[in-house]
Chain A
Amino acid sequence: MKRFSRINLLLLLAVVLLAVAPVALGLGSGEEPFAGADALAEQAIVDDHPDYEPWFSPIYEPPSGEVESALFALQAALGAGFLGYYFGVARTRRRCRIAEQPHE
């Protein structure tokens, strides 16, 4: 394997390790381990300011956790799909360019 690809793989591996390690080491605690930080902040506000009433509520809320995670997956898929498309196009363009100018 070339050095370029090896470093790229190592970068990916490091990211996976950083994500898996907290779960593997069982660092989650409380009622719902690995809850979202956004939800924890909301909870902290409710705990310290019990009289605060949110004055505006979401216009649309996904009806269930499943629908919500589907929409999150959709968001990630759209982004990843476009990134893949970009790299496909850029790679092909580069190949065409190299094929046109063999003496570069």
Chain B
Amino acid sequence: MHIAEGYLPPIQAAAWFAVSTPFVVHGSRALVQQVRRDPESKLLLGAAGAFTFVLSALKIPSVTGSCSHPTGTGLGAVLFRPPVMSVLGGIVLLFQAVLLAHGGLSTLGANIFSMAIVGPWVAYAVYALIRRLGGGLDVAVFAAAALGDLATYCVTSAQLALAFPDPATGFVGALVKFGGIFAVTQIPLAVSEGLLSVLVVRLLTRVSGDELRRLGVLRKPAVQA
């Protein structure tokens, strides 16, 4: 989902920065508040960031014969709400743009929008909906992480289609083309990310029940296993 350095026209690159900046500013405030209100959650906050760090570094083969990577932002969005993830995801993208020449500084605004804003919000919306409908924690976390991951790649496809409409078929043709490259490749990876997020939440439920209860992820007293 990394749009390469210089691969968005200057005006569009600037526009994506303009769209993403308020989210990141608001997210930084939310992050500071979270740490003030619940200083003990700092470590778990770091773990959520670390999860994104690991998953976005793993390029995994997919059924389309190409490689892509999960985003890992769904887990943090479920635990700490999406605004916090716009900061954590932004840090990951900045690290990759500066040190790995993966993504870029000029396209950072667009990449933050897809991976650190839309992904987490979609994940959180899916999670909240399933929980409200009475779905279990595992199911909600799986669907949230998988669909958030997929949403990120759909946004990237749309961003590229806007910037580079197909010469013959325009925006729609380009959307299909980039969707074929990104979104289809991403389906098995999204499933993987969902499964890994469920795994981490299961382990957290086991060792960090109190934290999860404070964050509102667990409601009932933990069952002693």
Contact = CB atoms under 8 A, between A and B. Distances in A.
A7 B203 CA distance: 11
A21 B96 CA distance: 28
A18 B70 CA distance: 13
A29 to B, nearest CB: 5
Interface string B191-209: 1100110111011101110
Contacts of A18: 60, 188-189, 191-192
A71 B62 CA distance: 22
Sorting the interface of chain A by its residue count into under 10, 10 to 19, 20 to 34 or 35 or more gives 35 or more
A34 B61 contact: yes
Contact of B192 (A7, A15, A48, A75): A15
Given A27-B63, A37-B181, A72 B100 contact: yes
A61 B207 contact: no
Contacts of B156: 41
Contacts, number: 178
B140 interface: no
Contact of B53 (A23, A55, A78): A78
Interface string A36-78: 1110111011001100101111111110000010011101101
A72 B57 contact: yes
B30 to A, nearest CB: 21
B172 to A, nearest CB: 14
Nearest to B68: A37
A2 to B, nearest CB: 8
Among A23, A27, A37, A86, the most chain B Cβ lie within 10 Å of the Cβ of A37
9 contacts: A8-B199, A8-B202, A15-B196, A19-B61, A34-B61, A55-B10, A72-B100, A79-B57, A82-B49
Given A68-B101, A76-B54, A90-B211, 5 more contacts: A11-B202, A18-B189, A34-B61, A42-B7, A81-B50
Interface of B: 1-7, 9-10, 43-44, 46-47, 49-68, 95-102, 104-106, 156, 160, 164, 166-167, 174, 177-178, 181-182, 185-186, 188-189, 191-192, 195-196, 198-200, 202-204, 206-208, 211, 225
